[in-house]
Amino acid sequence: MAEPITVAARRASIVESRHIAHAVAVREGAVVAEAGDGGLLAYLRSSAKPIQALPLARTRPDLGDRELAIACASHLADPQQVGAVRSLLAKAPAQEDELECGPEGSPPEPIRHNCSGKHAGFLALCRARGWDTRSYRLPDHPLQRAMLEEVASAAGMSESEMRTAVDGCGVITYALPLERMAYAFSRFADLDAGPRVGAAMRAHPQLIRGPGAADTVLMETLPGWIAKGGAEGLVCAAGPDGTGVALKVEDGAARAVGPAVAEFLARLDHPLTALEVDRIVNSRGEIVGEIRAE
């Protein structure tokens, strides 16, 4: 097994902590680069959102790039992002009180939940398919069965192989090896509606997460790439040459994701200097340390 990536947090000259990251890159069905355990089993979490948006894009050709992008997002509830969710709900059509993601933000509201765009997309797909929108988050609902089929197909796995659990927003999440995640993203442009969803993400990277986030910065920096982060230190990405990447910080530390992604993509000749170093800032706004790959 190749050595994993180690990301160190330094304060002055002392290393205070280290985070281990595993990563794999796949192109044309073969592993082309690996750091650590490419077979590591992890939950796809929000990195599944671009794949989950594919049936929506196929079913609703009337949706614009903003609506498709926010359906792929883990947003920060800024006005532009919440506005895009409201636009998608209006086109569904659906009401805010139909969102089953639970409340977040200030004040706590379902529309401010970071997954509200995905849930609005789920409601739009239910409306188009004639499915009852009540309890659309539950595993036996036709929507969630369709999502399981979509992710399994993209990853080249059978549905019976796919272990599932409940995600943070109440819907189903899927466990699969990092190599299968990278494989799914490597073929994203060849999946039905993949080019349309990918174009929407690239057109609106700020909707996908926000300033400084690894997935947003990656799309702003590397032409033709898409990227989507997931909870517990995961990020998946795809390049225009058909390279798919999946990276997981073993302890789930979000602060290690950017430097780890920059290190792994540099090995693939895709420098991402904006993510190489994250500053440690104290409560006075002073830079007192840094986080970077060793």
CATH number of the structural domain spanning residue 167? 3.40.710
How far is residue 58 CA from its own chain's centroid?
Answer: 20
Closest CA to 48 of 179, 184, 145: 184
Q: Which pLDDT does position 1 carry in this prediction? A: 75
Distance CA 240, CA 138 (A): 35
**What pLDDT sits at residue 100?**
98
CA proximity to 152, closest of 181, 179, 124: 181
Q: What is the pLDDT along the chain (294 residues), one digit of tens a residue?
A: 789 999 999 999 899 999 999 999 999 999 999 999 999 999 999 999 999 999 999 999 999 999 999 999 999 999 999 999 999 999 999 999 999 999 999 999 999 999 999 999 999 999 999 999 999 999 999 999 999 999 999 999 999 999 999 999 999 999 999 999 999 999 999 999 999 999 999 999 999 999 999 999 999 999 999 999 999 999 999 999 999 999 999 999 999 999 999 999 999 999 999 999 999 999 999 999 999 999
The parent domain of residue 93 ranges over 5-293
Structural domain tally of the chain? Answer: 1
Classified as helix, coil or strand, 65 is helix
pTM above 0.85, yes or no: yes
Reduced to 3 states, what is the DSSP secondary structure of residue 129?
helix
d(CA 147, CA 96): 22
